[in-house]
Amino acid sequence: MNFSNLSTEPHWYAVHTHPKEEARANSNLQAWGLKTLSPLIRERRPRQFSDKPTILVKPLFPQYIFANFVASTHLSRVWFTRGVHDVVHFGDSIAVIDDQAIDFIALQLGADNIVCLGELKYGDKVRINEGPFKSLTGVFEKNVKGTDRVILLLEAISYQGHIQIDRELIGKVA
């Protein structure tokens, strides 16, 4: 396919991967020496026969990663990389991703490329969204080191008490 906007400068592009091959495409593109961004997210799934949920790490954008390259020289190499299905384009123009959008996504990343959604700080008011304490509100106190749990000061009818709960069960109250 002939594209009209093949740049001689490096830009960020959205790369469409084959299903469940984001990690493969990412590592193969990095092996070519290209800069990539493949943000991940933790997803909580209930288990059928257990109270303890399963935590999965999944791509934030399923079947898409971002790559920074010079289109005029690297496009065919990217296109035929294992795990890559396509480079996002509209008609005969390759879609260039704005650097500010990539910077914003990169700022949200924590350890291991995992997006940190809604970081809480001491004193934030939160509501419990699931579990036996559902709908109760409290005040965020701190994260429990080495786990995905937090400590809250729970506010109930004429009672305040500390509880330790999974981070995914709570949401910040506006």
Does residue 19 sit in the same domain as residue 91? yes
Does residue 100 sit in the same domain as residue 152? no
Q: What is the mean pLDDT of the chain?
A: 85
Instruction: Evaluate whether residue 109 is within a structural domain.
Output: yes
Does residue 83 sit in the same domain as residue 165? no
Task: List Cβ neighbours of 126 (8 Å cut-off, separation of 6 or more).
Answer: 120, 137, 138, 139, 140, 152, 170, 171, 172, 173
Neighbours of 53 (CB within 10 A): 16
Domain count, the chain: 2
Which residues constitute the domain of residue 162? 125-172
The torsion angles phi and psi of 26, rounded to 5 degrees, stand at -60, -50
Where the chain has pLDDT below 50, the residues are none
Does residue 23 sit in the same domain as residue 108? yes
- Residue of 106, 5, 25, 14 whose CA lies nearest to 61: 14
Does residue 131 sit in the same domain as residue 107? no
Of 113, 133, 163, the domain-final residue: 113
pLDDT of residue 49: 82
pLDDT of residue 4: 76
